[in-house]
């Protein structure tokens, strides 16, 4: 369990964590000099029963809310600290809003410095806190009064924490490894060390991790959690990773470590649902410039709301980021105004890698089961979703994401992508349309070259292949010899059968010395002689002996009959064929090779022998 403090400056957060954990907080010289917390501080806390929790102590100063947000992202439980002698103050309210925007599920209000006030006053503050938190989306316990001077309430607080820890839903281990970096430093003998709370998944010593958004890779050399060396990290634990191959300057607060086996998009935009606080000074309109906090990262963005979002309202928006960032579906974020810098709202990531243009916004994008959200995400992605990207987009572990996909009858796995059936249908329909058009403009061609068809569809190759083979299976087209042919299509030539007859007759008359295609084109004055002869060949009337020379069927029959006659009982010498048929080498050599290829004859030196004689 990760516990985070929250609350106004000077209300006793650090003193409380020190008292609970026995560790000094505020270790920076400047923190000690000014008596305030400036940066995040961390301490392990052993709870009654032996479980270890990680505590993140955050600053309360209004200038450091960004640091507070980084610390509060990814905590399981908040200790909302209110000093008994001060009551609820501005950063109590702002930190509470941050916890709510981040979707923190559990909290314990702690009224500190109880020793400084009269019992009646303490009761009033406890009441004020209870009432203020009653409507919060954070599931708060009743407040605990404490004093680090007298020790009041500390044991009770510890046992409440233990009870909460026991009831906590464990974070998914069988999920993608992701750790938002909150610190990076160099350690002699170890190299670059990166620390953070592992949000999900595990990583082992020796594994490769990616640092995002830069995309640099590193190898995990060592893992440490709460002072113990581990072979494998635990989700939801404070974790320090010794990394080989990464310089200390590459990693810093705001970057992410993820497993190298998963597909994390680094995106220039995020599609989100935003909630604007009732106390926000103005509505969010197109191009409002805001600060976004997600994980430990802070970045600037322009809001493109679907409709202006009023204070107290909620709406859908695209965040156009000033530099590409990393997010996962379902991630919570905090929105702060650019100037003055105050917390104005929060949100939830609906699509961490939205299509650049013409994105549909189906209702299920924001709400619904993983299967429903998957349907909505696919509606915006005609090219489908890679299996490896789905757990990131949906924000669910891989096994759950895959079962959401398998649960939908209207999507299919095409190679490594989930694709809507409708997309494949639409592709097949477009293929048939362009096929029809091709047949219309090339009536004598046997079919449309597949490459031309594929190229024109402008869709990923595997999808096109699947759509075409579907259409073929449904009997709507045929795929042969690199050609696509619409079912029922018969190639035609201008002039019809009479023209085919005319060309075939020329070949018949030429017998065993037929003209080449080029010569035929000259003689007939037609440019489509090749198409005509292909049709005649399909009908069995002619055959190509060479690529550019066709023979009429009767001529070839006469040739084979001559071979058969000479070949009975003896070898066939080319000279004898020449004498009998009166053809020159120019025609005879290709004819003999044709006979060899047909299996009528085989070579014996320069001569031939009948194969079945």
Ligand X SMILES: Nc1nc2c(ncn2[C@@H]2O[C@H](COP(=O)(O)OP(=O)(O)OP(=O)(O)O)[C@@H](O)[C@H]2O)c(=O)[nH]1
> Closer to ligand X at the Cβ: 144 or 464?
144
In angstroms, give the least distance from the CB of 99 to Mg ion: 17
Minimum CB–partner distance for residue 239 and ligand X (Å): 24
The CA-based diameter of the chain, rounded to the nearest angstrom, is 132
Among positions 2, 6, 13, 218, the unique one binding ligand X when judged by CB under 6 A: 13
Total chain residues near Mg ion (CB under 5 A): 3
Q: Are 210 and 238 in contact (CB under 8 A)?
A: no
Report angle CA 278, 281, 282 to the nearest 5 degrees: 95
Q: What x/- string results for residues 11 through 50 when contact with Mg ion is judged by CB under 5 A?
A: --xx----------------------x-------------
Pick from Mg ion, ligand X, none: which does 580 bind, CB < 5 to 8 A by kind?
none
Q: Closest separation between CB of residue 17 and ligand X, Å?
A: 8
Site for ligand X in 82-121 (CB under 6 A): 112-113, 115-116
Give the C-alpha separation, 147 to 125, whole Å. Answer: 14
Closest CB to ligand X among residues 342, 486: 342
What stretches of 390-500 adopt beta strand conformation (E)? 411-414, 417-420, 448-449, 477-480, 483-486
Find the part of the chain contacting Mg ion (CB under 5 A) among 10-18, 427-435, 476-484, 531-539: 10-18
Q: Evaluate whether 43 touches 17 at the Cβ level (below 8 Å).
A: yes
Minimal distance in Å, beta carbon 352 to ligand X?
33
Q: How many CB atoms lie within 10 A of CB 118?
A: 9
Closer residue to ligand X in complex, CB, 42/299: 42
Report the residue from 1, 3, 12, 106 that binds ligand X according to the rule CB under 6 A: 12
What does the alpha-carbon distance between residue 302 and residue 321 come to, in Å, rounded to a whole number? 7
* Of residues 12 and 213, the one with the C-beta less far from ligand X: 12
Position with the least CB separation from ligand X: 60
From the list ligand X, Mg ion, none, partner contacted by residue 353 (C-beta under 5 to 8 A by kind): none
H helices of 9-113, in order, are 13-21, 29-34, 65-72, 90-101
d(CA 488, CA 478): 10
Q: How many residues bind ligand X (CB under 6 A)?
A: 19
- Tell me, residue by residue from 17 to 46, as one string, x for binding to ligand X by CB under 6 A and - for no binding: -------------------xx---------
CA distances for 68 relative to 14, 42, 143, 391, angstroms: 13, 13, 21, 28
Listed in sequence order, the residues at least 6 apart from 263 whose beta carbon sits closer than 8 Å to its beta carbon are: 386, 388, 389, 392
Interatomic CA distance for residues 394 and 479, integer angstroms: 37
Closest distance to ligand X from the beta carbon of 91 (Å): 8
Q: Which residues in 130-159 contact ligand X (CB under 6 A)?
A: 147-149
**Nearest distance in Å: CB 15, ligand X:** 3
Closest by CA position to 194, among listed 234, 221, 173, 215: 221
Question: What is the smallest separation between the CB atom of 122 and ligand X, expressed in angstroms?
Answer: 12
User: Rule CB under 6 A: is residue 15 a binding residue for ligand X?
Assistant: yes
Do 45 and 53 form a contact (C-beta atoms < 8 A)?
Answer: yes
Our CB check for Mg ion shows the closer of 37 and 200 to be 37
Please give the Cα distance from 542 to 504 (Å, whole number). Answer: 7
SS3 68: helix
Binds 115, which of ligand X, Mg ion, none (CB < 5 to 8 A, cut-off by type)?
ligand X
Q: At closest approach, how far in Å is the CB of 202 from ligand X?
A: 33
C-beta of 13 vs 466, nearer to Mg ion? 13
Residue 147 contact, options Mg ion, ligand X, none, Cβ 5-8 Å cut-off depending on partner type:
ligand X
Output the DSSP codes for 382-419.
TT-EETTTHHHHHTS-HHHHHHHHHT-TTEEEETTEEE
Q: Where do contacts with ligand X occur on this chain (CB under 6 A)? A: 9-15, 36-37, 59-61, 112-113, 115-116, 147-149
- The contact set with Mg ion (CB under 5 A) reads 13-14, 37
């Amino acid at each position: 369990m990760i516990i985070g403090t929250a609350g106004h400056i000077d209300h006793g957060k650090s003193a409380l964590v020190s008292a609970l954990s026995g560790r000094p907080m505020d270790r920076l010289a400047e923190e000690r000099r000014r008596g305030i917390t400036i940066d995040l501080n961390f301490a392990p806390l052993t709870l009654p029963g032996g479980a270890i929790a990680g505590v993140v102590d955050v600053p309360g100063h209004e200038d450091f809310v960004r640091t507070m947000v980084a610390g509060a992202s990814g905590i399981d439980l908040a200790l909302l600290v209110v000093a008994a002698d001060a009551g609820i103050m501005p950063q109590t309210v702002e930190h509470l809003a941050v916890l709510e925007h981040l979707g923190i599920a559990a909290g314990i209000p702690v009224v500190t410095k109880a020793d400084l006030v009269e019992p009646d006053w303490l009761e009033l503050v406890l009441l004020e806190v209870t009432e203020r938190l009653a409507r919060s989306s954070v599931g708060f316990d009743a407040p605990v009064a404490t004093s680090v001077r007298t020790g009041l309430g500390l044991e009770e607080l510890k046992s409440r924490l233990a009870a909460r820890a026991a009831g906590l839903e464990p974070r998914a281990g069988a999920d993608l490894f992701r750790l938002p970096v909150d610190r990076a430093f160099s350690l002699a003998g170890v190299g670059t060390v990166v620390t953070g709370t592992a949000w999900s998944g595990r990583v082992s010593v020796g594994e490769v991790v990616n640092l995002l958004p830069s995309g640099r890779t590193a190898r995990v050399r060592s893992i440490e959690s709460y002072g113990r060396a581990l072979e494998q990290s635990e989700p939801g634990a404070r974790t320090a990773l010794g990394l080989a191959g990464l310089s200390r300057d590459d990693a810093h607060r705001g970057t992410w470590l993820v497993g190298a086996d998963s597909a994390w998009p680094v995106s220039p935009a995020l599609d989100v649902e935003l909630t604007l606080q009732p106390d926000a000074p103005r509505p969010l309109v197109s191009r409002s410039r805001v600060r976004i906090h997600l994980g430990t990262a802070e970045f600037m963005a322009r809001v493109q709301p679907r409709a202006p979002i009023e204070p107290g309202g909620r709406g859908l928006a695209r965040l156009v980021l000033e530099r590409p960032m990393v997010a996962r579906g379902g991630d919570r974020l905090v929105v702060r105004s650019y100037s003055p810098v105050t917390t104005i709202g929060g949100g939830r990531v609906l699509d961490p890698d939205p299509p650049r243009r013409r994105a549909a916004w189906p209702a299920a994008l924001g709400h619904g089961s993983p299967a429903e959200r998957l349907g909505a995400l696919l509606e915006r992605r005609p090219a489908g979703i890679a299996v490896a990207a789905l757990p990131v987009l949906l924000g669910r572990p891989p096994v759950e994401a895959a079962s959401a996909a398998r649960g939908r009858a209207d999507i299919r796995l095409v190679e490594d992508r989930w694709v809507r059936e409708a997309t494949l249908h639409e592709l097949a329909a477009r293929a048939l349309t362009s096929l029809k058009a091709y047949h219309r403009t090339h009536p004598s061609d046997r079919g449309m070259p597949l490459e031309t068809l594929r190229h024109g569809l402008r869709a990923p190759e595997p999808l096109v292949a699947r759509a075409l083979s579907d259409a073929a299976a449904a009997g709507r087209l045929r795929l042969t010899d690199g050609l696509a042919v619409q079912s029922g299509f018969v190639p035609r030539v201008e002039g019809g059968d009479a023209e085919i007859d005319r060309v075939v007759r020329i070949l018949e008359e030429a017998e065993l010395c037929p003209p080449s295609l080029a010569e035929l084109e000259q003689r007939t004055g037609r440019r489509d002689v090749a198409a005509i002869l292909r049709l005649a060949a399909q009908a069995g009337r002619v055959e190509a002996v060479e690529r550019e020379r066709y023979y009429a069927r009767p001529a070839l029959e006469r040739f084979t009959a001559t071979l058969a006659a000479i070949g009975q009982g003896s070898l066939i010498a080319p000279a004898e064929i020449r004498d009998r048929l009166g053809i020159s080498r120019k025609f005879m050599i290709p004819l003999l090779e044709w006979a060899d290829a047909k299996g009528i004859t085989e070579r014996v030196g320069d001569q031939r022998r009948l194969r079945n004689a």
